[in-house]
Structure 1
């Protein structure tokens, strides 16, 4: 079934100027591939970078996800839905709950001769860099900036726990940070696997484990600072020790399996 597309008010003029305010136009537009397309889930998914000038001649960067029969199945959608649809839903849910994340500019889907096509256009998280980029030059950063990045990342991840949400793919490349005069801003990207998780801490433990395993740069002291901030603690207590043991054991177990 074809649906009327969502177009964000703050980008509609820019898309219209370039005649890209329709599903077909975005489906056909030439754009620079960010990575090799993903083949799986019965279809294909690609992500491209698209730069458009606004009415004032300023370049605006977007990321264009185009999918064909690239679906996820669950209890809510037993016959499947595009993973882009799930991510669009989660972008809206994060916004409603006040969790900083990427912003949707366009979403639409259609069915053509049995092929389910979906488009998700998101705005560039301008001025931010993924946490793994910061880690790649960690030793070159000042102690203060390292501390502020760790604290901002922990505060952002804590909002998931507070709002009863798990990211479910919480790697450093999905956590974007930007130093400012007032501190460090932080946002999430890649929300297609996110879901509500209200009744147990284990979903949050999975998020912490994934982030811990993929974060090689921080010292043990910095990891402890992250956990203290995440739990809203000023000093180590029984709860902090409990979470530290659980995450450490889970990370060690997962790392051992991969050897």
Structure 2
């Protein structure tokens, strides 16, 4: 896979001498959290801020990894997880599914190890849904409804496009409430490494809905009903939405019994 540089980011990266893999790889930056040492490799994330010629600051997250591989039928010997995530980011973009955007992707073999980096735009105007939930009871009903509706619309759009996120925790849905720059809420997805295609659309979305439901403990029954009705694009419960609600609850109960 060739190096990718988003056309709109090339001038900014070039201005700072960061339009090459070696330059980004060599940057000394603090990690935003503890490195991931799973899969027999190493992976880390750092924040990068660059000022353009007009003095405006642009924020990114730089993800770097060494021998952090995932294996599949297509890649039995392993593939850099960032390569897989970058490919999914580009597919989401083509499908017009709101998600994080790549500024740079590159991969090299260094000293016999697979080294990959992925630079993505920071979502500073958004907050993960799980952090919104931490303040849930301090939010107005209108704000809570806006967050639920934005998340439900996004998940419905994802499944309608034949995609399954496959790891849909609240922390992977970023939501922005209306602000000075936008009169409507917006939501987008992150962490696309495990996403996969599905031919059954929303009929294959139960796994995502179950994961999201089980990890949204702050939400009330009425909040969950609102999400489900919005996801189903209906005003009140019908036979289909009831079957879906029963299926989600059945999965939650089965998982709870096997803990």
Contact map agreement 1:32 1:50 (CA 8 A) in 2? no
Contact map agreement 2:156 2:202 (CA 8 A) in 1? no
Contact map agreement 2:101 2:121 (CA 8 A) in 1? yes
CA distance in 1, matches of 2:256, 2:48: 37
CA distance in 1, matches of 2:125, 2:223: 24
CA distance in 1, matches of 2:111, 2:204: 39
**How far is 1:125 from its partner?**
1.5
> Which residue does the alignment assign to 2:252?
251
> Which residue does the alignment assign to 1:227?
228
Q: 3-state SS of the aligned residue for 1:9?
A: coil
Q: Which segment is superposed worse, 87-96 or 191-200?
A: 191-200
CA distance in 1, matches of 2:98, 2:69: 26
TM-score (structure 1 length as normaliser):
0.95
> Which residue does the alignment assign to 1:123?
121
CA distance in 2, matches of 1:64, 1:28: 11
> Which residue does the alignment assign to 1:89?
87
**How far is 1:60 from its partner?**
1.1
Q: Does residue 185 of the first structure (1) align with residue 194 of the second (2)? A: no
**How far is 1:4 from its partner?**
3.6
**Residue 63 of structure 1 is aligned with which of 46, 61, 64?**
61
Mapping for residues 101-250 of structure 1, pairs under 5 Å: 101-180=99-178, 181-199=182-200, 203-250=204-251
Gaps of 5+ in 2: none
Q: 3-state SS of the aligned residue for 2:42?
A: strand
**How far is 1:200 from its partner?**
7.0
**How far is 1:113 from its partner?**
2.2
- What does the per-residue CA deviation read over 1:122-169, in whole Å, with 9 as the maximum and x for residues that have no partner? 001130000011100000000011011101100000012101100011
Contact map agreement 2:127 2:176 (CA 8 A) in 1? yes
Size of the alignment, in residue pairs?
Answer: 256
Task: Output the aligned Cα RMSD.
Answer: 1.3
CA distance in 2, matches of 1:256, 1:49: 40
CA distance in 2, matches of 1:7, 1:194: 22
Task: Identify if the C-alpha distance between structure 1 residues 202 and 257 changes in structure 2 by more than 3 Å, giving closer, same or farther.
Answer: farther
